[in-house]
Structure formats: structure tokens, C-alpha cells
């Protein structure tokens, strides 16, 4: 079962996304801020991270840069999840190191498709 870490400061979003992703067959870990999320990523080594970009103290852009600078964590795919949908926000997230970008409110079908694509790209080829 793929493990996803969702770093999000809004409790209702954490609950909603956790429930939806668990129903689709994922184990979901959560963190309520970037500092906790970075520590949890190091301790748990999730298969993928959903990163809220608009958090107080350490924002998602800074947290993603820290993740991607860490040799132990840099290969974990990160999907930016944000209410920021202004022109240039997607590019800013990708430049920070995010592998994908999804806006809130979520289109869960599209989000799950993005998760599946990124998880599949991390899997070693099947032995023949």
C-alpha cells in the first residue's frame, strides 16, 4: 500500500484528503506544518508527499526546497497542493522542486491520477 504524507495546516483539509485517499487504497500520514512534515518525511520515508504551499512560518516552497536538498528525501515525489492559482504559481512550485501541481478545491479524480503516475514512475520495472 503506497504511503502518502500530506503536509497541510488546515485540519478540515487534512481530514477530507486523508479519507478520500484511504478509500482509494493509500496509507495517509499527516503533518500540520512544514517543520513537522519535514521531520515526519525523514522518519517515515513516504512514497509521495502532498505539500500545501500556503502555510505559516515555513511555506511549502521553502519546505520543498529543503526536502529536495536532502539526499535521503530528494527522490520522493512532491505534489504542490494550493489555493494559489494565479499565473506563474505552477511554475513557481515546479521551480521549488515539486513534481506536480494541483489546485484547491481538489478534483480528486485528477489528483489520484497524478499520484498514480508519480508512484508508478518510482517503481522499478517488473521482473520478467
- Partners of residue 125 on adjacent β-strands: none
- CA nearest 64: which of 5, 124, 19, 1? 5
The domain locations on the chain are 3-122
- Cα separations in angstroms, 17 against 54, 70, 102, 123: 16, 26, 13, 23
Q: What is the mean pLDDT of the chain?
A: 92
Burial 70-98 (b: 16+ CB within 10 A, else e): eeebeebbbbbbbebeeeebbebbeebbb
Rounded to two decimals, the pTM is: 0.92
Q: Contact 48/76 with Cβ under 8 angstroms?
A: yes
CATH superfamily, domain at 3-122: Response regulator (3.40.50.2300)
Sorted by sequence, the CB contacts under 8 Å of residue 65 that are 6+ apart come out as 96, 97
* Whether residue 75 has pLDDT greater than 80: yes
How does residue 83 score in pLDDT terms, banded at 50, 70 and 90?
confident
Amino acid at each position: 500500500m503506497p504511503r502518502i504524507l500530506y503536509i497541510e495546516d488546515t485540519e478540515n483539509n487534512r481530514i477530507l484528503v486523508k479519507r478520500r485517499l484511504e478509500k482509494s487504497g493509500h496509507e495517509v500520514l499527516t503533518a500540520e506544518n512544514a517543520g513537522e512534515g519535514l521531520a515526519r518525511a525523514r522518519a517515515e520515508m513516504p512514497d509521495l508527499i502532498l505539500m500545501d504551499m500556503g502555510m505559516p512560518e515555513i511555506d511549502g516552497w521553502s519546505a520543498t526546497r529543503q526536502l529536495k536538498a536532502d539526499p535521503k528525501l530528494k527522490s520522493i515525489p512532491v505534489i504542490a497542493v494550493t489555493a494559489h492559482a494565479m499565473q506563474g504559481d505552477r511554475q513557481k512550485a515546479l521551480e521549488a522542486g515539486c513534481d506536480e501541481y494541483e489546485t484547491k478545491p481538489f478534483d480528486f479524480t485528477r489528483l489520484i491520477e497524478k499520484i498514480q503516475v508519480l508512484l508508478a514512475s518510482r517503481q522499478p520495472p517488473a521482473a520478467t
